[in-house]
Amino acid sequence: MKDIRTKNKNLISELPIPPEGNYGWPWTEEFTFPYKNEIKEYPRITIVTPSFNQGKFIEQTIRSVLLQNYPNLEYIIIDGGSTDGTAEIIKKYDRWISYWVSEKDNGQSDAINKGIGKGTGEIFNWINSDDYYSKDTFQKISETFTNSGADVIIGNYRYFEDENESKSKDNGKTIDFRLRETLEETIAFVLLNQPSSFFKLNLIKELGGLNSDLNFVMDQDIWKKYLFRYGQKNVSIVDFMFTHFRLHSDSKTFMNEFNSEYMNIYYSIAVQTDMPKHAEFLKNIYGNGFRKNYIFNFELTRESIELSRRVINSLIYYKARIAFTSGDITFFKKCIEVADPLYLNKTQRNYLMKIKIKSFLKEMKLEPLLNLWTSITGNKVKNNNDSADLELEKSKENN
């Protein structure tokens, strides 16, 4: 492994000349890191880029890492034996890369795990070879870890259509991040903003790295494992756009597979914690893409089993809300048949009761009675909250 620590130098003048027609960050611009102290005082940041046949994009990724000019960087690229010229691009930057290899592997999770095994840093993230970082990401990450003492730092990312990127820097949509009030609700329906999520590397290793049985949601799998083991108290959220996530023809084809694999996590939790009715519900609805050999690995204790039951019921409660708001009464009924109020909190139970009554009155075409009941009780179902949840559901599909 090469040591590629720097001391706030004009790196852009040393890197290969960018391909013709590319301007701005990270082609003709670099970040001037505000170096003040000894390099050893900056936490080492380990970045892993898994790659396979992304020669069209990977140079932008590499430059966005190197041109942070971060003084204590460990950059690792694990290429799966690309045949499209990717290796030749990596070779141009060999001098500034700590370690790289181009050889056949068993997929993206395997490649990232290889990089984790090589990593020696305090802070870790992986960035795919078709995405890129904002220019001052590493400074913000370093400062936040140092000042907060957090285990995980999560920020925003922008996703954009590749074909529109060169036309306007304002295109795309920003995905922010927020935790929920309770741990079970966070586990149930908060997706990790992986491109903009930085973990302490030792915790990723303690959790066993990524599950290589997964092709699309290995990030969500390890996020749930982290939450089950450590909770959410040491997760720090930064309102800052760390990463730019590219949507292109290949990445857009994975939506259905993503959703199936994602629900497979909850199915495995339900099976392991003796919730057959809930497991069967999830399998019937989402099971086409379930991986037979996949197991969500976590320690089964009395506390984790109790948490699991709250998680699964919160998930189904959430699905019931989405179904009701979107007018899918058939699916709404399936959800409420399965959801166990015993494992819902008071707010969830009350809300579920309200929308059950509202659904019944709508089915009976008793809207006047519904309006009267609403005006007397003052317990209106807040459509703005439901709309927000619908937006969250749509954002899952975009991932």
Q: Is the C-alpha dihedral spanning 337, 343, 344, 350 positive or negative?
A: positive
Residue 199 — φ and ψ, nearest 5°?
-110, 155
Residues 6+ apart with CB under 8 A from 8: 32, 33, 34, 35, 69, 71
> pLDDT value at position 250?
61
Residues 6+ apart with CB under 8 A from 368: none
Looking at the structure, tell me whether residues 244 and 266 fall in a common domain: no
| pTM of the complete model | 0.88
Number of domains in the chain: 2
Specify the pLDDT at position 258: 83
Judge whether 76 lies within some domain: yes
CA dihedral 318, 320, 326, 330 (to 10 degrees): 160
In a domain, 302, yes or no: yes
Q: 91 and 127 share a domain?
A: yes
248, 274, 302 - which closes a domain: 248
Quick one: 78 and 146 in the same domain? yes
Per-residue CA distances from 153 to 183, 237, 279, 331 (Å): 17, 6, 32, 36
With respect to residue 172, please indicate whether it lies within any of the assigned structural domains. yes
Residue 297 and residue 329 share a domain? yes
Return the residue matching tokens 């996949």: 294
| 300 shares its domain with 319 | yes
Q: Is residue 221 part of a domain?
A: yes
The whole-number pLDDT of residue 380 equals 46
Supply φ then ψ for residue 348, to 5 degrees: -65, -45
The reply to whether 86 and 71 lie within a common domain is yes
Distance CA 29, CA 66 (A): 11
Residue 6, in any domain of the structure = no
* 4 domain-assigned: no
Q: What is the pLDDT of residue 295?
A: 94
Residues 325 and 188 occupy one common structural domain: no
The β-bridge partners of 237 are 154
CA distance 290 to 282: 10
Q: Which residues contact 10 (CB under 8 A, 6 or more apart)?
A: 30
* Token pair belonging to 290: 């379930």
- Which of 215, 248, 281 is the last residue before a domain boundary? 248
On whether both 31 and 170 belong to a single domain, the answer is yes
Query: Tens of pLDDT along the chain (399 residues)?
Result: 888 776 666 899 999 999 999 999 999 999 999 887 766 689 999 999 999 999 999 999 999 999 999 999 999 999 999 999 999 999 999 999 999 999 999 999 999 999 999 999 999 999 999 999 999 999 999 999 999 999 999 999 998 886 545 544 557 799 999 999 999 999 998 999 999 999 999 999 999 999 998 989 999 999 999 999 999 999 999 999 999 998 865 654 466 678 888 999 999 999 999 999 999 999 998 887 788 889 999 999 999 999 999 999 999 999 999 998 888 989 999 999 999 999 999 999 998 888 887 777 666 665 665 566 566 655 544 433 343 344 344 444 444
Quote the distance between the C-alpha of residue 208 and its chain's center.
18
Q: Give the structural domain span for 170.
A: 11-248
Domain assignment present for residue 215? The answer is: yes
